[in-house]
Structure 1
Amino acid sequence: MSTRSLFSPRRTARAPLLCLAALAMAGCAGNNSASKVDAPGAPTTAMTKTLDAGANALQSRPPINELNAYLDGFHFYNGHPGAQMEAHHYCAILNEEVIQCVIYDGNVKDAKLMGVEYIISARLFAQLPKAEKALWHSHVHEVKSGQLIAPGIPAPAEHALMDKLVNTYGKTWHTWHTDLDKQLPLGVPQLMMGFTGDGQVDPALVSERDKRFGIDSAEKKQQRADIPTPQIDPGADAWSKGQIIQIQDPTGSRHAH
């Protein structure tokens, strides 16, 4: 397994390009994926709108302002690979080895916050205890298959970003299960996973996403053939080895797909 940082010496020269990619993603390729949920509640009043506008003008939001990178991919419930959904990631690059993302069910103004994902380098992942590794998934197939995309940035910049992400691992928790809960977030957080092989993701899900963004995942797969395929740490993707981890839901088994 590679224990290099996110940028190997070969990749270091690409760092400026990736910085530009992150900046470009801040304002590109949005507003084409509607939320799947209609939350209940009274319409926003004029007073609330005024307060919101005032807060927007006067308050600073340093953590939110750092959410520069936009990634789109697919998740499934750990232990239930047939229960799949698209996930829109808005990410902050903390340093060369740690990225943190908030995940929504769309990329429109009223998109619902589904959860979070933490992304770390192979070097940091290698240092985790065995039990902790079981909570994380690899990104090799997501990158190499073309499933994971960075909408709105030039192809060379996206390719360089994927060259970075292929050597990472993610830990993802969804707190609003928008495939089931169409009004409010119910139950407990669920551990999510990423796909590890061909034939796992619902092709209709990918096709619909590709059409919406005007891309071809199969074409991206071919374009990424030159990205080296790293060895995956055997501690990751524990679901594929029969180890299923989820928090017991005291509200019942409604999220056991």
Structure 2
Amino acid sequence: MMKNAYLLSVVFMVALLSACGGNNTPSNVGTPGAEKDAKSKTLEAGADLIQSKSPLKKFNAYLDGFHFYNGNPKAQMEAHHYVSQLNEDMHQAIIFDGNGDDAKIMGIEYIISERLFKTLDAEEKKLWHSHHYEVKSGELIAPGLPELAEHELMEKLVSTYGKTIHTWHTDQQRSLPVGSPMIMMGFTKDGQLKPELVAARDKRFNVSMAEKRKSREDIPMPKVDPMANTWEKGEIRQFTISANADSAIKKHQGMPQH
């Protein structure tokens, strides 16, 4: 009971200190194009005051971690997740390349419980990665949350699975969202994640991955489904751009071909 009361007080404090854990990581790239003119700024300000943004209001949690391209574990980047919880078995996240006003949307991630993951067919599971290592290693953090609240959140996430797609590869200094969307994966063992990425992140947020790992030793390690993280076995699933994509899509959807 006291623990629940504490967590409620934490939520209240976080609402008051909403700037905590943000505005310390700029976007990887600038955006080509003309500066906003007066009309655009006026329309933007009016829309901000008048229009409803109900779905966005539900993105109320912030997670910081790291991804790599499925099939290329050396191509790694930091990922800022803004998360909405749909129910006890599913979250959805918008992924940015920073946490300031200039942040670019890199992609999305769907996060499901172990219970839902078990319902997927074998081929679908190969598109997903587990979160056991991200949580237990201290790699995944919730910037700005007090330690107890973060620990509670990590207890819920440790047994979940994520399906992640990046659509704008700003880590490759692409100033426009060009190229194919890419399926991303998460790390599963020590020695995979570049230490310089962690060091830079930890310095910005004034945290320690090593200390986070130690504080999470009491979180039980889940049994990971062997059909997740199949990149470890050399089974790679990735998007490709094909000249025959249009006819293939129509065939799949049962649409008439011309």
Contact 1:22 1:68 in 2 (8 A): no
TM-superposed deviation, 1:195 = 0.0
Q: Please say if 1:177 is aligned against 2:169.
A: yes
Q: Please say if 1:231 is aligned against 2:223.
A: yes
Q: 2:37 aligns with which of 28, 41, 45?
A: 45
Q: Structure 1, unaligned stretches of length 5 or more?
A: 1-11, 252-257
Over residues 166-206 of structure 1, what are the superposed CA-to-partner deviations in whole Å (9 max), with x where a residue is unaligned? 01000000000112243101111100000000000000000
Question: Aligned in 2, Cα 1:102/1:70: closer, same or farther, shift over 3 Å?
Answer: same
Contact 1:114 1:178 in 2 (8 A): yes
Q: Structure 2, unaligned stretches of length 5 or more?
A: 244-258
Alignment of 1:1-257 (within 5 A): 24=14, 27=18, 28-250=20-242
CA distance in 1, matches of 2:95, 2:135: 18
TM-superposed deviation, 1:248 = 1.0
CA distance in 2, matches of 1:21, 1:188: 41
TM-superposed deviation, 1:62 = 0.5
Larger Rg: 2
Normalising by the residue count of structure 1, what TM-score does the alignment of the two structures yield? Answer: 0.89
Number of equivalences: 240
**Sequence identity, in percent?**
57
Match of 2:247 in 1: none
Partner AA of 1:37 in structure 2: V
Normalising by the residue count of structure 2, what TM-score does the alignment of the two structures yield? Answer: 0.88
Contact 1:39 1:182 in 2 (8 A): no
CA distance in 2, matches of 1:129, 1:16: 41
Q: Secondary structure at the match of 1:227?
A: coil
Partner AA of 2:139 in structure 1: Q
Over residues 149-182 of structure 1, what are the superposed CA-to-partner deviations in whole Å (9 max), with x where a residue is unaligned? 0000110000110011001000000000112243
Structure with the larger RCO, 1 or 2 (CA within 8 Å, 6+ apart): 1
CA distance in 2, matches of 1:22, 1:250: 48
CA-based RMSD of the aligned residues comes to 2.0
CA distance in 2, matches of 1:245, 1:144: 26
Which region of structure 1 is more displaced relative to structure 2, 77-86 or 13-22? 13-22
CA distance in 2, matches of 1:155, 1:189: 35
